Amino acid sequence: MTAPQKQPRDAAHWARYVEALEVPDGNTGPNVEGRRVVGPLQGFGKMWQKTYRTRIEGASPAEVVGAWRERFPELSGFGEDGFRVPAGGLVPGAVALLGGLSGVMVLYSDEESFTYMTPEGHPFSGWITFSAYADEDGVTTAQAHLLIRANDPLYELMMPLGLHKIEDRTWQRTLKNVAAHFGTNGEVETRVVCVDPKRQWRRYENIRYNALILSVLHAITAPLRWIGRQATSFKPRT
Amino acid sequence: MPQAQVTMDVRKVSDNVSVIDVKGEMTAFAEGVLMDAYAQASDGRVRAIVLNFGGLEYMNSSGIGLLVTLLIRVNREKQRLLTYGLSEHYQNIFQITRLDDAIGIYESEDEAVRAGTA
């Protein structure tokens, strides 16, 4: 009989493997339910590494990340409707919905960082990690770090047409809000690196899950579904 | 920035394959150590880099991110990235992060080196 392997200390911080995501709490999330998670290797577009940092005095890394995780909808600016935290909170494996469009899964969470991973159909395939660490002078640096590709050709087209800027502004705003929460008004340093300028053309088929396209199609075909429901519920008098 | 809690020793096991023995913690702070090890492991003739994770004690999501950026560098040099020594826990991590789509996982150094030479 072999002895069980000793679990490393990060074991409880990682999500368990799931074949497909489930939307929690009876919510509706057609662009999340049944989707697989995707990392930066599964996307279509160029791979980008984006890092946003700000310094926060008077709070430890654990305090910063604790508040960030607890108040994520507020501090990110998405609000409670824009980012729906599941009932159990942002724990490893939890699925949060992003408005009606898509969602994210909590891939990893510990005292000083948490990471989201995106599903098929989301604008990006990849990870975003929110973390904090103490610098050599003892001051805490809060950081949002993205490693992403545009998920499909349509999103890749949108990158230079505004998607890059939206992403930058979202996380710069988030870091300012986190800093303000602790009474600091620091500058946000932004660093963007194109890690891989090659597009993965073989991933063009990712477009079949594009959440924007599917949402528009769903809205356009709503009248047809209404007619279908009326037709099936119609019972002629006998 | 905090110190890296990891060491990475490089072994050339054949003309075409180098092994990097990872011992300690794979976190964001390991970036410099990892890239230095890769620079040492890779020369014009190396076709495969094998990461030995038998000594891995801890890895967070930032550590996984480092493996992606390493993979991009390796592919740019037309090399392959392979691993062995992953515990069941870390094999699960590779599966959920879908790194196993692109990084070969093997049971032993012999198997990994043979795959790297093929």
Task: Domain count for chain B, please give it.
Answer: 1
Percent of chain A with pLDDT over 90: 81
> Which pLDDT belongs to residue B93?
96
Mean pLDDT calculated for residue range A100-118: 96
Contact with chain A for residue B65, Cβ under 8 A: yes
User: Is B79 inside any structural domain?
Assistant: yes
Asked whether the beta carbons of residue A113 and residue B62 sit closer than 8 angstroms, the reply is: yes
Distance from CA of A49 to the nearest CA of B (A): 9
Asked whether the beta carbons of residue A14 and residue B96 sit closer than 8 angstroms, the reply is: yes
Q: Is the pLDDT of residue A9 over 90?
A: no
Mean pLDDT calculated for residue range A113-136: 97
Asked whether the beta carbons of residue B88 and residue A14 sit closer than 8 angstroms, the reply is: no
For residue A139, CA distances in Å to A54, A57, A64, A142, A172 come to: 10, 6, 12, 10, 19
Q: Is the pLDDT of residue B88 over 80?
A: yes
Q: What is the pLDDT of residues A13-66, one digit of tens each?
A: 999 999 999 988 777 788 999 999 999 999 999 999 999 999 999 999 999 999
User: Is B95 inside any structural domain?
Assistant: yes
User: Is B107 inside any structural domain?
Assistant: yes
> Which pLDDT belongs to residue A227?
87
- Token pair listed for A50: 């984006």
Distance from CA of B105 to the nearest CA of A (A): 16
Higher-pLDDT residue of A238 and A109 is A109
Query: Which residues contact residue A22 at a Cβ distance below 8 angstroms, ignoring those fewer than 6 apart?
Result: A33, A95
Q: Is the pLDDT of residue A4 over 60?
A: no
Indicate which CATH number applies to the domain containing B37: 3.30.750.24
Query: Which of the residue ranges A24-38, B21-35, B87-101 would you say has the lowest mean pLDDT?
Result: A24-38
Q: What is the pLDDT of residues A174-205, one digit of tens each?
A: 999 999 999 999 899 999 999 999 999 999 99
**Stated pTM of the model:** 0.92
From chain B, pick out residues whose CB is under 8 angstroms from the CB of A42.
98, 101
How far apart (Å, rounded) are the C-alpha atoms in residues B118 and B107?
Answer: 17
Dihedral sign, CA of A22, A77, A39, B61?
Answer: negative
Q: Is the pLDDT of residue A132 over 60?
A: yes
Which domains does chain A show, CATH number per domain? 14-233 (3.30.530.20)
> Which pLDDT belongs to residue A24?
81
> Which pLDDT belongs to residue B1?
57
Mean pLDDT calculated for residue range A209-237: 85
User: Is B71 inside any structural domain?
Assistant: yes
Contact with chain A for residue B7, Cβ under 8 A: no
> Which pLDDT belongs to residue B2?
65
Q: Closest partner residue to B58 among A10, A115, A196, by Cβ?
A: A10
> Which pLDDT belongs to residue A73?
97
Mean pLDDT of chain A: 93
> Which pLDDT belongs to residue A20?
94
φ and ψ at residue A135, rounded to 5 degrees: -75, 175
Query: Which of the residue ranges A3-7, A167-171, B28-32 would you say has the lowest mean pLDDT?
Result: A3-7
How far apart (Å, rounded) are the C-alpha atoms in residues A40 and A18?
Answer: 18
User: Is B17 inside any structural domain?
Assistant: yes
Mean pLDDT calculated for residue range A208-231: 90
Report the run of H or E that residue A148 belongs to, with start and end.
strand A140-150
> Which pLDDT belongs to residue A30?
82
* ipTM (interface pTM): 0.92
Mean pLDDT calculated for residue range A1-11: 68
For A77-108, letters b (16+ CB in 10 Å) and e give ebeeeebbbbeeebebbbbbbbebbbbbbbbb
Distance from CA of A9 to the nearest CA of B (A): 7
Q: What is the pLDDT of residues A153-165, one digit of tens each?
A: 999 999 999 999 9
User: Is B1 inside any structural domain?
Assistant: no
Percent of chain A with pLDDT over 70: 95
Residue B54 is part of which domain span? 6-117
> Which pLDDT belongs to residue A229?
86
> Which pLDDT belongs to residue A228?
87
Dihedral sign, CA of A89, A212, B62, A52?
Answer: negative
